[in-house]
Structure formats: C-alpha cells, structure tokens
Structure 1
C-alpha cells in the first residue's frame, strides 16, 4: 500500500485490524477505523479536509474518495462503497451501500440504511433520508428499504470484512 503524509499529516489507523491492498493509496488526513477493508486501486486523498472511514466499512476496487475545502468525507460504520464509486466531500450514514460506479458529490448527505444504486449520481447538497433506495442520474428515491433490505446491507459489509481477513491471512505475491 502507498501511504503518504502531506504537509506533515498522514493517515491514522484506529483499532487492531484493518486490511489495505498493496495498490491502494492513502494521502493526508485519512482516518481508518477498526475492521475496514480498502481494496485494490482505491485512492483516498485527504488533502483539503478529513476523510473518516467508519468501522467495518469496505472501500472496493478503484474507488476515489476525495474532499474539497469545506467538504470533508465521513463514511459511517458497516458501509459498502462499490467498485469504481466516487465519493466526494459528502456524508454517508451507517449501514449504507453505494453501488458500483455511483457518484456522490460535495455536500450530499446520505442517511443510514440506504442503497445508492449502481451508476447513480447524487447531486451536490442533496439530502437522502434514512432507509432509501436511490437510483438514476440524477438520483431519485424510489422507495423505502424494509428490514430485509437492511439485513442485506449488513451482510454485504460483513461478507467483505470476512474477505479482508481472508486476504490478510492468505494473500501472497507470486514472484515472476
């Protein structure tokens, strides 16, 4: 993994276990909490404001997480940020899944237990209430998520936490 300080401030790691892929990049004001998995090609660039990743959250391959002045990123506990998602200067509540290729822009606030569909575009400053299923570009709430949906969101984060531990224990580079 590539971990960089910027202007004397580098990433902080809380708790006893997180797994970060070798090709992930963390720069500056990034806080990674217990049980987080950051997968291959993800870039977390905390050059303008803080990026906080809640416990048991997974940041999948090729995600970009970035801030602008006045727009930190806070991702709650037990979240899944899907492959190639862009999370920029926003807040994402606990137990929320941001689908593959989705984009969440500055000042957006996503509630707890939400599912942001693949390729959705959550516009600047948009507020998504708790328990919302959101799709489209621009994103629209199409219905509420019930208890079964909440359980599915939790399983996604739990499954990736298990994978992170598996990769931490068993992944080995093969020399050529």
Structure 2
C-alpha cells in the first residue's frame, strides 16, 4: 500500500491496524511502516528504516527523528510464560534522536533522549528523559538509564552525567532534523511534480 503523502515509503496495515502518521511528519522513500504505529507531528523516519508494529504498538513522538537504517520492533503477549505478559510496546517520546542503524526493541525512550548510532536498546529497557545511550552500546533487557546520564559499552554502563551543553545539543539535533526533513520533503515533492 502506498500513501501519497509519502511517495516511495511502504506503509502497510497488519491485523486491521493501519499506521497513523501525522500530516507534518516525514517518512522517507524506502522506509517501511507496518501495523500499529503512530508517528507524531514533525517527526521524521529516514531512509531504509523499519518500524514493525505487528504484535504490539510503536509510538514516535513529536519532532523525534529515527535515522537511516534503524529497526524498531516490539514484544508480543506471552500467555504461555511462567509469568504471563501482555507484551511490550516501543515508545519514543518527543524531541528524541535515534541515530543511524540503531535497534530499539520493546523499549522506552523518554522525551529529549538520545540513542547513538548502532546502539541497541532491548526489551523492557528505558532511556529516561535527557539521557544518552552511546554509539554502539547495548542496553540489556530491563535496564534503566536514569535522567541525564550517559551510558556506553556492551553491556552499557554509566559513563557520567550529561552537562547542560550536551543536553542542549540533543535539542539542537532534534530541531535540525525537523528542518532537514522539510528540505528532503521539498526535494522529493519537486521530483514527483517535475
């Protein structure tokens, strides 16, 4: 299925649930958005990303960006488990930066947080407000990065607290990607009209 607002992107329903994408969002050609996915105002989903909301939901908040090649998935219900679960969604808050080739799987990324390039956040993990998971880091299942901390490594561990300049840089990156998305959309609109 093609959405004329996002030429070249694959946007598919699954089990009767169609992605809900705000008109002001940007979804790049080559991105795949499947099932129970909500993308908020001025958010951007970049080239070759996959957001697959087939067994639970995915939410991407306003002005957040999910950069090229990132994979976002969820954990479904497990009624047969020793402790039955309803599964885990992936929730990305507002003004978040999700770096190139990251994997966010059934995790929560709170407002104003940063996931570095190639980083992995696993089931039940949480990156709290204004926190950073460094490039290439692996946040193990259920781990929580407290607000404003930087964690790095595999498995990820505390490096230090962020300073005001680093927190401001996340806000800058979020705003920059809103503008970049506008420019890419204008370029693509020019191609489809010309």
Answer yes or no: same fold by TM over 0.5. yes
Cα distance, 1:99 vs. partner? 0.5
Q: Following the alignment from structure 1 to structure 2, what is the Cα–Cα distance between the partners of residues 134 and 35?
A: 28
Which runs of structure 2 are paired with 1:33-112 in the superposition (5 Å)?
33-69=40-76, 70-112=87-129
In structure 1, the gaps of 5 or more residues are none
Q: Following the alignment from structure 2 to structure 1, what is the Cα–Cα distance between the partners of residues 111 and 160?
A: 18
Larger Rg: 2
Cα distance, 1:8 vs. partner? 0.8
Q: Following the alignment from structure 1 to structure 2, what is the Cα–Cα distance between the partners of residues 7 and 48?
A: 9
Q: Following the alignment from structure 1 to structure 2, what is the Cα–Cα distance between the partners of residues 115 and 106?
A: 17
Q: Following the alignment from structure 1 to structure 2, what is the Cα–Cα distance between the partners of residues 91 and 53?
A: 10
Q: 2:30 aligns with which of 23, 33, 37?
A: 23
CA deviations over 1:32-66 (Å, ceiling 9, x no partner): 00001100000000011110000000000010000
User: Could you say which residue in structure 2 is the equivalent of 1:160?
Assistant: 177
Cα distance, 1:173 vs. partner? 4.9
TM-score (norm 2): 0.87
User: Could you say which residue in structure 2 is the equivalent of 1:11?
Assistant: 19
CA deviations over 1:60-110 (Å, ceiling 9, x no partner): 001000001111000010011100000000100111110000000000011
Q: 2:162 aligns with which of 145, 148, 151?
A: 145
In angstroms, what is the RMSD of aligned CA positions?
1.2
In structure 2, the gaps of 5 or more residues are 1-8, 77-86
User: Could you say which residue in structure 2 is the equivalent of 1:2?
Assistant: 10
Q: Following the alignment from structure 2 to structure 1, what is the Cα–Cα distance between the partners of residues 44 and 127?
A: 21
Q: Following the alignment from structure 1 to structure 2, what is the Cα–Cα distance between the partners of residues 110 and 81?
A: 11
Q: Following the alignment from structure 2 to structure 1, what is the Cα–Cα distance between the partners of residues 31 and 112?
A: 23
